[in-house]
Structure 1
């Protein structure tokens, strides 16, 4: 019975041992068997200190000692206390097997006590009722204590489980936030730097024969850098609790400065979008422009946006060299667009366009 020695039961056992010994010393039983009765009372008190692995042996001892004490003389008060302590302790700490064995032994003891009281002329009914009430009450107290401990343990386990779930949820949220920030940084920095590289290379190429156009290209590099910084500041400071409109005019102007013709078509009634959807749509357009300029060398890019009843459709088609769609794990470009769309309940398809070039099409739920 785990917890036996760490409970209040050893203190009770010591107390009942002192009481029983004092009672027998004050009124010792007569006859040659007086030492046996005294030893029986002390043995019953000591039973409360027996560890759980010996509880079955304790059950047999307490039965024998109880029968001996009951048959030899009127049982001392310590006998009742010892049995009550054992009943309460079994109900609180014992297993079903231990409780069955010990309660059976106690039943034998109660029978012996009842026989002794009947033999001495006491009321037979009371002789049976009193031990049952005493020992049953002690067992009930132990059972209630067991239930309370079980409820407390269950409450602690639930609290620990909830704490673990919250910690796991926080870790997942942190991981998702890191992934989102990585995508945002990739979109902002990669787009801006890619345009700046193209503009700088163009400026270097035309500088000897057309210094004025080269200066314009250098100015475009500066404008692109400033726009990238502004995008970065917007991303870091975005709280976005309210609706937002999709704005891509600065992205279109940046690509046009590279000498690429960008045609913009919008159908449906433009409306404010959830912040996450508006940001995702902008990042998809930005990434599609970047991929087209970096890999396709297009002369023309068509951007189409359609505001449907419950979704926003974005399509970017260029007339450059067709590229194979990115496969999972191949990079952050097309895969990042697909991940972004999935987070807002949308989807992205990318691949060669039927009329030539490359097409990126996104459908985002609004």
Structure 2
């Protein structure tokens, strides 16, 4: 349970206890002006009022206790209409919880007990009619409050539905834009880079065929062209992929197959993650392993997933050539990683390690984020 939920529950319990104390104090104060009030009467009033502190968890039980104690009190002490306050409050909360039949029956029982008391018939009828009006108002306001709460829930549900629809539309538009960009890159850059790589390869081949020394710049162009083509293809694959096609464990296996020394450690209680969080974890590990393969050389990489009660920590550390006093220039990969983590309400720490190598650490909340 989150801290916010605990605070809300505590506030509700305090409000319920306050209601019970206020009603009990009011009825006891009025009863104190009657010289004939006995100790058993105070006990019955206290019991009827104290039960109200639990009306949210057991409204029918509270209604039964308040009605029985209140009826016994009026039959024994013959008090004024104010003695019906605990029953009035219990009827209101029972009707609010949907138990209007129980509330009406309790009101009838208490009025029957009250009708059997009083010095004169006229006073009894007048007071009983007054109480009947109060009880009717309690049931009506309880039902009105219940309907209002239902309306609020429906309104909130419609708002959430509209927000979900807007998010789905935005995701769809983003997917269409990614595909458009992928097509543009494929149609323009792929062709140009292929021509450069092909021309450089032909030049290297002719030079070697004539027995000439291949210029280093030409070899660099050939190698850069091949690397650019590989990166472009990887970028196009990411742009065309809306969802991750695997898990962090699968990414580690692929990296191992490609020759990278990678270890995966999972601590804590592993459990399914929401789609957005699961996608973010996949992309963070994917980008971190890609950077390690490009820049860390023959390094060892340690991938850790730590499941906590409120957050998931993703750590990817390597012992490559990164130096602590030389901060790397943030590229598109790290920038996108940071945007992804920030959108989920998490924090990202990246940079060289004191003992050498590079570290990526993302702390992602497990609750409803973003």
Larger radius of gyration: 1
Normalised by the shorter chain, which TM-score bucket?
0.3 to 0.5
Q: TM-score, normalised by structure 1?
A: 0.45
Choose between structure 1 and 2 for higher RCO, CA contacts under 8 A separated by at least 6 residues.
1
Q: TM-score, normalised by structure 2?
A: 0.45
